[in-house]
Structure 1
Amino acid sequence: MLGQVQKSNIDRVFDTLDITRDGVLGADDFRTMAQRMVALREHMEPRLLAEIQGTFAAWWETIRQAADVEGNGHISREEFTAAAARGLDQDPEYVDKMIRVSEVTFRAADEEGDGLLTRSQVERIYQAFGVDEALSAETFRRIDLNGDGTVSIEEFVSAARDVWTSNDPKAPGAAMFGSVA
């Protein structure tokens, strides 16, 4: 059963994934997100480009298989929330499937390839996903666990995990997509 923080986060994840703002998730939303991740860099290595496209396509397929109960290629908010609740409750690998995209998103934004993101790189991820940029400063502060002014891939992925699993509104990643109830 989902806690209040999880419900709030899953609702915000749906809003973020619904790039077309048509109230349903579809393959176009995920293709657009992949294109936006590719656009984070002026020059994208072909291997990373293929990884981004493949990861977002696989993410869509995972979500579609779990949530598209009508088989129409579109996922409503209710279908998405119900599938997330089932996945979190029944599939020990569910969270890993949902956060894989955070790893490739991190690598897309890490232009220097040093395994660290600056505040401006995190802001660019927020812009690409269409998330309120005002949230990026608070998110950066919360997920920079060691306070060194950068976010490591471990910190970033751990925060993404919090989005799905934490019911603590003070958890570093619990408010990645907005304030939690």
Structure 2
Amino acid sequence: MKDKMGSATTKTSTSPRFVFSETQKRKVHHLFNVLDIDRNGQLQPNDFVNVGKKIVAQLRLSEESRSARVILLKSHRLFVQLLTDLHNPELSLTLWDWIAFFRDQIESEDEGILDHYIQRTSRHIFDLFDMNKDRLISQEEYANMLTIYNIPQKMAIQGFEELDTNDDKFISADEMVEGLNNFFKSGDPEAKGNLIFGEWR
């Protein structure tokens, strides 16, 4: 194409700086299925509250106890924050909403929203998994937590080993953040952290 002076013009590219790969899409789709506890194709408050109730039962806490109420509140708050991040006024999220959010954030020039989501989600997951509150997650704590999401123990152990990057037999808060960053941001099918929520392939 030429301009009025006869010089060749360059077409401006509108391609995103980062591309939401098929690997990332499959991982995000898998996580949606993990979180959709009742398997009705939508993420709703009950999916998160029921996980909280399972954690309370696993810890043998009375649902009336302060510790149990804190767990249930945090579980519900995670869902509310999801609605806020996705600018969704409804009390449910479809798979399309979920995938579109991560696609848009990964392909955005500004990674701030996704980084904020990862940091906050990492803190929440770490707090729930760290059942004895020693600021470390053991393999047993990790496997026990993933059974609540119906992930087989064998896969839980593989995920734990991927996250434990310094091989000290524990997952630290920093290792959790690193794993979540890889899970959401990496298009590499072999990236450490891909199995954090079980088998996605």
**Structure 1 residues 169 and 114 mapped into 2: Cα distance closer, same or farther (>3 Å)?**
same
Of structures 1 and 2, the one with the larger relative CO (CA 8 A, separation 6+) is 1
**Structure 1 residues 68 and 108 mapped into 2: Cα distance closer, same or farther (>3 Å)?**
closer
List aligned pairs for 1:20-59, cutoff 5 A: 20-43=38-61, 46=66, 49-50=69-70, 52-59=71-78
Could you list the runs of 5+ residues in structure 2 that have no partner in the other structure? 1-18
Q: Percent identity?
A: 20
**Do the aligned partners of 1:106 and 1:153 also contact (CA within 8 Å) in 2?**
yes
Using the TM superposition, give the Cα deviation of residue 175 of structure 1 relative to its aligned residue in structure 2, in angstroms: 2.1
Partner residue, 1:154: 174
Using the TM superposition, give the Cα deviation of residue 112 of structure 1 relative to its aligned residue in structure 2, in angstroms: 3.2
Using the TM superposition, give the Cα deviation of residue 162 of structure 1 relative to its aligned residue in structure 2, in angstroms: 1.9
TM-score normalised by structure 2 residue count: 0.74
Cα-to-partner distance string for 1:133-167 (whole Å, 9 max, x where unaligned): 32111111111111112222221232123221122
What letter matches 2:29 in structure 1? D
**Do the aligned partners of 1:37 and 1:109 also contact (CA within 8 Å) in 2?**
no
Picking from 17, 26, 51, the partner of 1:8 is 26
Query: Deviating runs (4+, > 6 A) in structure 1?
Result: none
**Structure 1 residues 3 and 65 mapped into 2: Cα distance closer, same or farther (>3 Å)?**
same
Partner residue, 2:113: 93
Larger radius of gyration: 2
Could you list the runs of 5+ residues in structure 1 that have no partner in the other structure? none
Partner residue, 2:37: 19
**Structure 1 residues 87 and 62 mapped into 2: Cα distance closer, same or farther (>3 Å)?**
farther
**Structure 1 residues 41 and 5 mapped into 2: Cα distance closer, same or farther (>3 Å)?**
same
What letter matches 2:145 in structure 1? I
Tell me if 1:84 matches 2:102.
Answer: yes
Tell me if 1:167 matches 2:193.
Answer: no
Partner residue, 1:61: 80
Coordinate RMSD, CA, aligned: 2.7
Say which structure is richer in helix: 1
In 1: Cα distance, 2:58 partner to 2:125 partner:
9
**Do the aligned partners of 2:118 and 2:177 also contact (CA within 8 Å) in 1?**
no
